């Protein structure tokens, strides 16, 4: 059997094998490689989306904190602030001589309402209790300035305070 006879006998098998090899080559080069590239793009997109999700989670957490602070820092009218300060002074053993609302500072995200306060205290401990009561009060107050003098007409201290109430806009 010579080569021509073998080629004619197995002609269909050789053609089928060549077609199968050509189909495998085309599938590998054009389909498989493109799908691998698409998978790589999708994996990169997945990583990007996971990073975005982390940022969104942190934003959500910060929004929850802002909501909590906005509920804590509610705008109160001057009368209720004065009543709160009076309660704290009474609980501390301090006598209020005068309370005067001062200016109100409008900031981009909060309002600071300032009050000028003149009080009389028997001791520094009473003043310390008053400041401590302000720190522990449910509303947010800050002591911006303190000016302490001794009472020339009697015993005790005359104290001028500048107190601010902070409210979220």
The predicted-structure confidence for 135-168, as pLDDT tens digits, reads as follows: 888 888 889 999 998 877 778 889 999 999 888 7
The tokens for 81 are 């602030």
41: pLDDT strictly greater than 80: yes
Identify the pLDDT of residue 1: 58
For the sheet containing 141-150, what is the strand order? 95-106, 110-121, 157-168, 141-150
Phi, psi of 21 (to 5 degrees): -65, -40
Only one residue has tokens 């495998």, namely 24
Phi, psi of 85 (to 5 degrees): -65, -40
Identify the pLDDT of residue 46: 95
DSSP string, 6-65: HHHHTHHHHHHHHHHHHHHHHIIIIIIHHHHHHHHHHHHHHHHHHHHHHHHHHHHHHHHH
Residue 80 binned pLDDT confidence (cut-offs 50, 70, 90): confident
Identify the pLDDT of residue 2: 76
54: pLDDT strictly greater than 90: yes
Identify the pLDDT of residue 5: 76
Identify the pLDDT of residue 130: 92
The CATH architecture of the domain made up of 78-168 is 2-Layer Sandwich (3.30)
What is the DSSP code (8-state) at residue 133?
Answer: H
Identify the pLDDT of residue 140: 84
Query: Over the stretch 88-130, which tens digit does the pLDDT of each residue have?
Result: 999 999 999 999 988 888 888 888 889 999 999 988 999 999 9
71: pLDDT strictly greater than 90: no
């Amino acid at each position: 059997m010579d080569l021509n006879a073998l080629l004619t006998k197995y002609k269909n098998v050789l053609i089928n094998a060549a077609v199968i090899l050509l189909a495998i080559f085309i599938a590998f080069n054009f389909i498989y490689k493109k799908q691998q590239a698409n998978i790589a793009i999708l994996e990169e997109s997945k990583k990007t989306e996971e990073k975005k999700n982390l940022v969104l989670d942190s934003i959500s957490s910060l929004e929850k904190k802002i909501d909590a602070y906005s509920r804590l820092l509610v705008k109160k009218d001057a009368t209720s602030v004065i009543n709160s300060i009076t309660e704290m002074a009474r609980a501390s053993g301090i006598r209020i001589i005068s309370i005067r609302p001062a200016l109100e500072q409008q900031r981009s995200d909060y309002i600071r309402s300032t009050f000028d306060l003149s009080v009389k205290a028997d001791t520094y401990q009473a003043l310390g209790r008053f400041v401590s009561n302000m720190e522990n009060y449910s509303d947010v107050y800050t002591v911006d300035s303190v000016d302490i003098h001794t009472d020339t007409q009697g015993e005790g201290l005359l104290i001028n305070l500048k107190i601010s109430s902070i409210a979220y806009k």
